[in-house]
Amino acid sequence: MTLTLGVLASGSGSNFEAIGRAIERGELDAKIAVLVCNKEKAGVFARARDLGIPAVHVSHKHFESREAFEARICEVLAEHGVEWLVLAGFMRLVGATLLSAYPDRILNIHPALLPAFPGLHGARQALEAGVRETGCTVHLVDAGCDTGPRLAQALVPVEAGDDEASLTARIQRQEHRLYPLVLQWIAEGRLEARARRPGFPGLLPPTDDLVIFDGGEA
């Protein structure tokens, strides 16, 4: 089943591009129908042009409430037939309007092994905590901040001499692999099949350097 995706972003958009390139290479059975970005000057717009993906600027500053902002985003997504919503560096909390329009169909990627280091600056938090290993997590979005059920994680070593930039770059290389992979699992119906069973949303399969959690309590 070809997934019709909408991507929400606020920044550089390297994850957006990684998903778009995976589609171009035939590794992901999906289409990005539209990019919605809340920052007018974000680098992600140039990437959308290169990929030939329609891009729409919707600024939260133009709306009086989160509900109104999200209602406008929902209109754009509906105009493009979006079925699954992919957050890729979207720097706003998701509220009830989007959550109820896409129940259990909003994904996010976070630069840490959740539940460790939620919120901003995942790589910086890992360095400050002195951990030897961190990673990234793809999870379903719920009303909390980085609290939704985890679908997949990739491990990333912290190396001697790492600073925030070097560690972030290493994490992002894994993000760019993991996000398209999880989306392809969804395209193959594996998430939905498992969602009907107890223990949702365990996903398979682990590969050499991926650790897959079952989405339950840690």
Asked if 174 touches ligand GRF (CB under 6 A), the answer is no
Nearer to ligand GRF, 9 or 186 (CB): 9
d(CA 207, CA 37): 32
Asked if 13 touches ligand GRF (CB under 6 A), the answer is yes
Nearer to ligand GRF, 16 or 200 (CB): 16
Sequence-distant contacts of 93-98: CB under 8 A, at least 24 apart: 93/66, 93/145, 94/70, 94/141, 94/143, 95/66, 95/67, 95/70, 95/143, 96/67, 96/143, 97/66, 97/67, 97/70, 97/71, 98/70, 98/73, 98/74
Beta carbons of 67 and 100 less than 8 angstroms apart: no
Asked if 118 touches ligand GRF (CB under 6 A), the answer is no
Nearest distance from C-beta of residue 197 to ligand GRF, angstroms:
29
For residue 151, give the 3-state DSSP assignment.
strand
Asked if 150 touches ligand GRF (CB under 6 A), the answer is no
Considering only 22-30, 62-70, 104-112, 194-202, which stretch makes contact with ligand GRF by CB under 6 A? 104-112
Asked if 172 touches ligand GRF (CB under 6 A), the answer is yes
Nearer to ligand GRF, 37 or 194 (CB): 37
Asked if 134 touches ligand GRF (CB under 6 A), the answer is no
d(CA 41, CA 55): 12
Asked if 86 touches ligand GRF (CB under 6 A), the answer is no
Nearer to ligand GRF, 72 or 170 (CB): 170
Asked if 88 touches ligand GRF (CB under 6 A), the answer is yes
Chain residues that interact with ligand GRF, rule: CB under 6 A: 9, 11-16, 88-89, 109-111, 136, 172, 175
